[in-house]
Structure 1
């Protein structure tokens, strides 16, 4: 995409080495194609080690846990962990050195409560930061910067007081702003961008399809065949790409694509991703 710059979002990328295994304790999951067993919220994953490391990290997909590969906290985990170390709330024993037993997190329920709230806010920060990197939305930059600063203040407050932060209105406000960004950034002189928002393309054959600048917000693309599809500047906010085949697809400049979405899909060395997104290790 002309004018696209590498997005500086390092603080919004999960860094498990700086976290106390929050997602492995706080979040529940159900045995499915994504997870090999059931786990209740607040229960440490059976693979979480005493040092807060994952015992099967290098073979999660092979072990039946692809959902863990696709999950991204957008940096919320390490932010909350740093908050624990700075005295925001009760600190699990040894959290600063990541050497506490896994059960210690059960004694810090505020951290589990903070994770879903801070994660949602960090996801919004991801989209806002991306939007500010786009060259095609100069009329929206002031509003985007203001929204980013507001969400950042809320995220900082939510680390210690998650119950005081209502994410719903924030998502509505930022969502409307992101819609305006999408409409400006996807404009084409030669065609009206196709709208497939919330469309059901599960298992659909879309190989080689021209989906440039298409609105695919919230679309179900589970197991869709998108080999060699042209998705340049398509809006993929909230699209479900689980097991979608992106082999050879061109997603250059695609809007609002996250590491979670890419990690849940399949691709190869020919798949072209937007600036700031790395190729998943499991792609062939």
Structure 2
């Protein structure tokens, strides 16, 4: 790998921050390509490939400002990280799926694949923004380059991908990054005795009162934090991959350096103006002042 293709910490951070949905340049793919099942998050059933009844001719949602009131909270949570505009404008060169049924069918199948590639890209770019060992940095950099290259493939090539061949090495690299960063935080912050109490992977904390708890550098991968009271909780340096934060109260919580936290996780939670988020995440509009 040539030296000039290496991504430094600052560039990696910019890449992560650039992964934002641009609905203006997307053909309403999240409103069309995905399957929706009626639940507390969605007011209706919708099959994959069928446009939502609220999708307008300009690909805008006619109830966008009332989604939560209309029972479509799930729509305000979803974030494609920019996969939608990539598929619409690059993979399919701006072709409107309404004009060609074959294009539509293929585009709707490509979108979920691109979404997964963008998710992995976001995680790897974030990992590269941290200070890690040179060997880990080289592996992360190579993985980022590969993912960015794959997103530029044509539709048929994307549809032929075995996505697990990308997910497995990405997961291994993220685990290694998490271990490295969390250990560094623990060494600098806690005594050796306390560092052994930070593994909460997959824990069931539904509705649990965690107010003011010190969870710095905690492993919260896959943790079930639904409706947990996390007001004023310190989760700097904690790993949130796969954690379920639906209706968790993050008011006043410090997540400024939390690792692998996504916009969708934040969107599904509650918070306020005192909640501190990583720079690449936006404060949800439904959070309280």
Q: Output the TM-score relative to the length of structure 1.
A: 0.89
> 3-state SS of the aligned residue for 2:148?
helix
Q: Which residue of 2 aligns with 1:266?
A: 270
> 3-state SS of the aligned residue for 1:116?
helix
Contact 1:216 1:234 in 2 (8 A): yes
Deviation beyond 6 Å, 4+ runs, structure 1: none
1:12 shift after superposition: 2.0
1:11 shift after superposition: 4.2
> 3-state SS of the aligned residue for 1:143?
helix
Distance change >3 Å, CA 246–CA 106, structure 1 → 2: farther
Cα distance in 1 for residues equivalent to 2:228 and 2:234: 14
Is the counterpart of residue 192 in structure 1 residue 169 in structure 2? no
> 3-state SS of the aligned residue for 1:153?
helix
> 3-state SS of the aligned residue for 1:161?
helix
Q: Which residue of 1 aligns with 2:85?
A: 78
Contact 2:236 2:254 in 1 (8 A): yes
Cα distance in 2 for residues equivalent to 1:275 and 1:105: 40
Q: Which residue of 2 aligns with 1:203?
A: 207
Number of residue-to-residue matches in the alignment: 269
Unaligned segments of structure 1, at least 5 residues: 94-102
Cα distance in 2 for residues equivalent to 1:135 and 1:76: 28
Cα distance in 2 for residues equivalent to 1:85 and 1:173: 28
Distance change >3 Å, CA 11–CA 85, structure 1 → 2: farther
1:236 shift after superposition: 0.3
> 3-state SS of the aligned residue for 1:146?
helix
Contact 1:266 1:283 in 2 (8 A): yes
Deviations 1:60-83 (A, max 9, x none): 112211111111112111000013
Cα distance in 2 for residues equivalent to 1:105 and 1:60: 30
- Range moving further from structure 2, 67-76 or 189-198: 189-198
1:176 shift after superposition: 0.3
Cα distance in 2 for residues equivalent to 1:216 and 1:70: 20
Is the counterpart of residue 7 in structure 1 residue 13 in structure 2? yes
The structure whose RCO (Cα within 8 Å, separation 6+) is larger is 1
Distance change >3 Å, CA 283–CA 138, structure 1 → 2: farther
Cα distance in 1 for residues equivalent to 2:100 and 2:241: 33
Distance change >3 Å, CA 78–CA 111, structure 1 → 2: same
1:239 shift after superposition: 0.5
Contact 1:203 1:221 in 2 (8 A): yes
Contact 1:79 1:159 in 2 (8 A): no
Q: Which residue of 1 aligns with 2:225?
A: 221
Q: Which residue of 2 aligns with 1:174?
A: 170
1:276 shift after superposition: 1.4
Unaligned segments of structure 2, at least 5 residues: 1-8
Q: Output the TM-score relative to the length of structure 2.
A: 0.88
1:163 shift after superposition: 2.3
> 3-state SS of the aligned residue for 1:7?
helix
Contact 2:132 2:180 in 1 (8 A): yes
> 3-state SS of the aligned residue for 2:256?
coil
1:43 shift after superposition: 1.0
Match of 1:36 among 43, 48, 66: 43
Distance change >3 Å, CA 80–CA 209, structure 1 → 2: same
